[in-house]
Amino acid sequence: MRYTREQLLELEDRALAPYAMRAAATRGREHPEPESAYRTPFQKDRDRVLHTTAFRRLEYKTQVFVNYEGDYYRTRLTHTLEVAQVARSLARALGLNEDLAEVVRQRHDLGHPPFGHAGEQVLAELMADHGGFDHNKQSLRIVTWLERRYPGFRGLNLTWEVREGIVKHETVYDLPSAEGYEPQLRPTLEAQIVNLADEIAYNAHDLDDGLRSGLLEPRMLAEVELLAELARELDLDLERLGEFDRRVFIRELLGWMITDVIEATDAAIARANVRTLEDVRRHPEALAGYSAAMAERMAELRRFLYTRLYRHYHIVRQVAKARHVLERLFAAYTRTPEMLPPTVQQAAEEEELFRAVCDYMAGMTDRYALEEYARLFDPYGR
């Protein structure tokens, strides 16, 4: 038996909670085009993002550890896939649209430059007098302008709700500017849970990578009440945490956080008497969130990761190297644009040199940026 798009939309309508976003109710695409015969609009969007050059490049972009540090650490690509899994789990438990949650998650990190948040900070500083740089806006720029895959328009021509989810992505570290996408209103619950899925995944998996690398020692976990309590619950000795025990610990930590979000968000929806998508959008605060107790514990975990991992001298050295590489590349390209590839030179003529250079550098992987640095500044480089 096969299912047409119309049948899939009917199944979706019957299965979802009344406040979920239905693909049949999308505000549509900027450029009219026929929909797929056997995919909903959000499924089509997911597939379009998956096949972009920008998505493939995430494989060699930093999450915490630069690509050359080893093959076992998270990259932007594996982080994106892990967040998508968390988002789908949250969406399914809350009766939300899994396809929308997945595609909103897939596209979020497309705009990240090489070397993680260090790279974003450097580009933001270098572009301060030329329109600025923000990875959320860069993600939107990629899917609406930079990717060229269709003859009738630039970009991917994604649905309005997916684009809204891009510009309204919000975490402790990312505060959005939603100009042009009803900034006075909340995004869909699907977009809201992606914000939480992002934080859940990077807290758990950065902790995992920190332990694997040796930059974090298991005994340090006792400094965080959430982690100490989980160790007691699992009867694990943090003085002798082996590899298998570490895997169990991280898996159960994810489970604790996901369960808390599901239960806390469901309770918030009930308290607010939310019955429609319009209720979600007009609610003064985000409905998706942690319980009060978990929110405090997550804040403590973030502080722990910042002081113990992200500010570890080894990571600080990586950040300093990244800054040096990107600053020198940017200066060389803008001073001598003739050394840029022809496609980038053409983009500079069509728009503006600094923005073209920024787009080019933001699209680089860690490996490509380091190779380009060697080509330009190593006297023996080819």
Task: Indicate whether 103 belongs to any domain.
Answer: yes
Within-domain flag for 168? yes
Interval 272-276 mean pLDDT: 97
Domain residues for 179?
Answer: 1-197+333-382
- Mean pLDDT across 202-219: 94
Amino acid at 126: L
DSSP 302-349: HHHHIIIIITSHHHHHHHHHHHHHHHHHHHHHHH-GGGS-HHHHHHHH
On average, the pLDDT of the chain sits at: 93
Structural domain total, the chain: 1
Q: Cβ–Cβ contacts within 10 Å for residue 127, how many?
A: 19
- Answer whether residue 23 is part of any domain: yes
Asked whether residue 244 is assigned to any structural domain, the reply reads no
Structure-block tokens of residue 17: 């909670």
pTM of the model: 0.92
How high is the pLDDT of residue 381? 65
User: pLDDT value at position 361?
Assistant: 98
Q: What is the DSSP string of 128-170?
A: TTTT---HHHHHHHIIIII-B-BTTBSB---BHHHHHHHHT--
> Does any domain span residue 309?
no
Condensed to tens digits (0 to 9), the pLDDT of residues 233-262 reads: 999 999 889 999 999 999 999 999 999 999
Q: How far is CA 20 from the centre of its chain?
A: 22
Backbone phi, psi, residue 113, to 5°: -80, 180
Helix, strand, or coil (residue 231) = helix
Query: Tokens representing 231?
Result: 């160790």
Q: Is 225 contained in some domain?
A: no
Q: What is the pLDDT of residues 74-130, one digit of tens each?
A: 889 999 999 999 999 999 999 999 999 999 988 778 999 999 888 999 999 999 999
Question: In this predicted structure, what is the pLDDT of residue 277?
Answer: 97
Cβ atoms < 10 Å from Cβ of 329: 22
Mean pLDDT of 330-347: 97
129 within a domain of the structure (yes/no): yes
Tell me if 109 is assigned to some domain: yes
Instruction: Determine the Cα–Cα distance for residues 92 and 193; give it in Å rounded to an integer.
Output: 11
* Host H or E run for residue 368: helix 366-377
Look up residue 359 and give its two tokens.
């787009």
Q: For the range 208-214, what are the long-range contacts, defined as Cβ-Cβ under 8 Å and sequence gap of 24 or more?
A: 208/246, 208/250, 209/63, 209/64, 209/65, 209/73, 209/74, 210/64, 210/305, 210/308, 210/309, 211/241, 211/246, 212/72, 212/73, 212/246, 213/65, 213/69, 213/70, 213/73
pLDDT band at 19 (very low <50, low <70, confident <90, very high): very high
Per-residue pLDDT tens for 165-207? 988 876 554 445 667 788 889 999 999 999 999 999 999 999 9
For residue 133, what is the domain's CATH number? 1.10.3210.10
